[in-house]
A and B are shown apart, each in its own frame.
Chain A
């Protein structure tokens, strides 16, 4: 089945640093979604990407849809303590328009 692998698995950074993470797939995706999950909560959508090469920002977050359509990247600039959480990429499961396949997640810890 489809697998979305995220890298790194976890990261510890200092407040103010920029963060980069990526998501790779064994198959082509037509939509990439990036979510953040706070501890004990459901995921919240951060950015949606629909076109290969697309670069979209949401405040300090910027995400890119890879031109091969098999990867996507999320960058966070000038991290702050509330950026702590798990970041998931997701995309439509093969052969469906509404079911989501989630990536393995990147756990972010921000130290002061």
Chain B
């Protein structure tokens, strides 16, 4: 089956620092990856769509300068939370979609829990 990994699984950082989260598709090529944010006991909210070789598209209300996304290869997308603040603490989940497939072939990573002190 398709496997998506995220690194790190947990990170604690000081307010004002930047944090990078990696999302990798381990056994397939993903032209499109998605980044979601999930607050405790809440649903997943799509933050941005990451396309290999092009700029990410952000959902309304998501600051692109704060959440930098890079999709440099068909198996790797990174999300950098810049100048993190306590309100950025959340569970960040990525998903990867196989090239040329439909919506039900979106595979999710295990998530990264970010805590900003």
Contacts and interface: CB of A to CB of B under 8 A. Distances in A.
Interface of A: 31, 33, 40-45, 48, 88, 92-93, 97-105, 107
Interface stretch (B13-21, B70-78, B81-89, B97-105): B97-105
Interface residues of B, number: 24
A98 B103 contact: yes
Contacts of A42: 4, 6, 93, 95, 108-111
Nearest to A90: B44
A88 B111 contact: no
A83 B110 CA distance: 18
Contacts of A48: 104
B48 to A, nearest CB: 10
Contacts of A45: 104, 106
A110 to B, nearest CB: 18
14 contacts: A31-B104, A40-B91, A40-B113, A41-B111, A42-B4, A42-B93, A42-B108, A43-B44, A45-B106, A48-B104, A93-B46, A97-B102, A98-B32, A100-B46
